[in-house]
Chains A and B, each alone.
Chain A
Amino acid sequence: GQSLEQPSEVTAVEGAIVQINCTYQTSGFYGLSWYQQHDGGAPTFLSYNALDGLEETGRFSSFLSRSDSYGYLLLQELQMKDSASYFCAVRNNFNKFYFGSGTKLNVKP
């Protein structure tokens, strides 16, 4: 089976940097994705790591360590609009994506 662990909630102030961790257990691992979901909205894709290392996309970066079954999403220069839930999702060898329980990020002024 699959399991993903991420913190349920994180709070940070505007302009700060926050890291959301994700540890996973799965068979046939292909990669780790990150999605953002605002209340009432659809998940939207942020980043994908298939190989170890850091991927940077603007203010957002994502890291993967396959040997540690661990990844994180790093959000820099936090803005109020970044307040949302963030999900990590593992992609397995059947092109199936399993989502974690999500981390609710609260950005305060």
Chain B
Amino acid sequence: EPEVTQTPSHQVTQMGQEVILRCVPISNHLYFYWYRQILGQKVEFLVSFYNNEISEKSEIFDDQFSVERPDGSNFTLKIRSTKLEDSAMYFCASSPTGSTGELFFGEGSRLTVL
């Protein structure tokens, strides 16, 4: 069964460093998302991406963050100059169309900023 894959599963970084989280969405999906979840809290929307551009972003998604789809399969989230409060689980998700209520989530990348 097709699935969303994310790498790395866990990354530890020093405050101020740049991090790139990678995702391979399901191949025929058209909508891509990044969410984050601080331990024990809710799943927070960061950004949605469609047709090679950002379609929506939240207040959390400031200049520190960027997304890219560098080729036909990968979807990346870059976090510049990481802060302690960026420590969280980052989930990539994809959806085949805009008419379904179902998001397919990857297993997540746990980011720890020291």
Contacts and interface: CB of A to CB of B under 8 A. Distances in A.
A43 B43 contact: yes
User: Chain B interface mostly helix, strand, loop or mixed?
Assistant: strand
A86 to B, nearest CB: 12
Contacts of B55: 94-96
Given A94-B56, A95-B50, A96-B48, A48 B100 contact: yes
A102 B101 contact: no
A45 B43 CA distance: 13
Report, as a range, how many residues of chain B touch the other chain.
Answer: 20 to 34
Contacts of A32: 101
Contacts of A89: 43
Contacts of A43: 43, 91, 103, 105
Contact of B103 (A31, A47, A49, A97): A97
Interface of B: 31, 33, 35, 41-45, 48, 50, 55-56, 91, 95, 98, 100-108
